[in-house]
Amino acid sequence: MDRAAFTASGTAGGLVSNGISFFLLIYYSQVIGLDPALAGSALLLALVVDAVSDPLVGRWSDRLRSRLGRRHPFLYGAVLPIPVCYYLLWAPPDLAQTAMFLWLAGFTVALRLALTMHTVPFNALLPELAPGYEDRTRLMNYSYAGGWFFGTLMAVSMYVWWLADTPDYPDGTGILRRAGYEQAGLVTACALCLCL
């Protein structure tokens, strides 16, 4: 059971990474209308926070003592913030430039921190679940394959389904359809709830 849960939980990283990497900057700069420099700065800020937080959370999870073990409190604590932050990134209210920048920066940083709280202890569980080299390799293969497959499926679904041309958005302009991003954000957030 632990191995199946480990494999399923690894899928969350692929879903979030592909959504952010492929679509978030386009969404905020082209669809929402946030200045591209502000959108890029918000994403850069989140990456800097992520780079600093990873080793801190790793050290913290190595030293934590609880009745649930060292890693599980972090994993449980990230279950709700990851899908909530992910969805809110795709469903911003109508805001002015500065407020929209703060929305994007705040929820991207929060999502990255929640992912760190999940991913770092998640990867540290590997030697505890699979003590042998071949078992660890097999388990990581399944985890990354699930992340790659479902992340790619989400990206393809964006173009085929949520961002496809409609009568209101013909000739390749479906990528500008705000409702498609919001719908995809909700579906992906629900999938994250199942994976985590």
pLDDT tens readout for residues 95-154: 999 999 999 999 999 999 999 999 888 888 888 888 889 988 888 888 888 888 989 999
Residue 48: CB atoms within 10 A of its CB come to 11
How far apart CA 25 and CA 20 sit, in angstroms, is: 8
Residue 57: CB atoms within 10 A of its CB come to 19
Name the strand (E) or helix (H) holding 7: helix 2-19
Q: What is the pLDDT of residues 93-103, one digit of tens each?
A: 999 999 999 99
| pTM summary value | 0.91
For the chain, which domains are there? 2-195 (1.20.1250.20)
How far apart CA 124 and CA 102 sit, in angstroms, is: 33
